[in-house]
Amino acid sequence: MQQLHRSQARASFGASRAASRVGVIPRAAAAPATAKIIDGKAIAATITQEIKAEVQAMQKEHGVTPGLAVVLVGMRKDSQAYVNSKKKSCAEVGFASFGTDLAEDATEEAVLKVVQDYNADPNVHGILVQLPMPKHINERRVLDAIDLVKDVDGFHPTNIGQLGMRGLEPLFVPCTPAGCMELLERSGVKIAGKRAVVVGRSNIVGLPAAMLLQNRDATVTVVHSRTPNGAEICREADIVIAACGVAEMVKGDWIKEGAAVIDVGINAVDDPTAKKGYRLVGDVKFDEASLKAAFITPVPGGVGPMTIAMLMRNTIEGAKAAIKRTKKN
């Protein structure tokens, strides 16, 4: 099974369990669902074309090509597949793609040296270290070594801190939560003044998603593993972002009539009828929730494609910031 971007794959239920309307398409007439499907693939494709045009303009005006560096440690097949998908996305939008693959037994110091070299390379505007890394490597130490201005994953404490403070703008917003907001906004879902519930409080998805919704003037509640009445709270929400990492936890009776539902989760469940012996489902019981919601994302094909699209967006923003810094100097 392919590995997801870490922003999505590591969303957990609680800390203990570690705009145009393009892309909104009605379900087939034969289907019982009433919700409109938010087509993440179509919206991501639109964003990709927007970025491609920006890259061409940047090259013409400034002679700069945005560069993304990906560091991979080990030989995990899923990690390799995902790194390849990032390289493919870079080629599609016209980015320069840099990559360093290190052996499974590479030392932590060797990984840090690679990060430091990319920090110093002016042709690299974004650095992403593919997770998970081998257990002998301190992931936090490696991630913290990434230069703040190249932290295109948006997980640096400074970026998260600025996201949570009124009047401040982070250099980068974590990719999956940013993708959730794009899906809502490009689908014409009103956020300001609405009640929003985020199911899950991970540092990677849940908490930044809650902060983004609040910054758009929603009234936000976070439901987590210690919340005694999560279903009741969700039933009051106009917007639900499910990022708990529990297959089909959010049932149809959790959803308010006419709500917008963004399903971040992706879980493999056994299915003997499927070719691979399993199928992918989200954190939302889709067939039930789609009878109540006005908008809903599918799994797969909803949030997933947006994560890489927003990674590309963060990288070109990093390149724009680098151009500004160069002009000041």
Of the residues 8, 36, 39, 86, only one is catalytic, namely 86
CB neighbour list of residue 23: distance below 8 Å, 6 or more residues apart? 38, 39, 40, 41, 42, 43, 46, 183, 186, 187
CA dist., res. 132 & res. 46, Å (int): 30
CA dist., res. 283 & res. 303, Å (int): 12
The answer to whether residues 237 and 195 touch, using CB atoms and an 8 Å cutoff, is: yes
Give Cα 63 to chain centroid, integer Å.
29
Residue 123 tokens, joined: 């042709």
Is 153 catalytic? The answer is yes
CB neighbour list of residue 168: distance below 8 Å, 6 or more residues apart? 162
What are the angstrom distances between the C-alpha of 82 and each of 6, 43, 232, 298, 305? 10, 20, 37, 20, 12
Of the residues 3, 8, 151, 153, only one is catalytic, namely 153
Is 86 catalytic? The answer is yes
Helices (H) and strands (E) in the chain, counts: 11, 12
Pairing of strands 195-199, 239-242: parallel
Helix 40-62 to helix 303-328 angle, to the nearest 10 degrees? Answer: 20
Give Cα 204 to chain centroid, integer Å.
9
Of the residues 36, 130, 256, 285, only one is catalytic, namely 130
Is 214 catalytic? The answer is no
Positions marked catalytic:
86, 130, 153
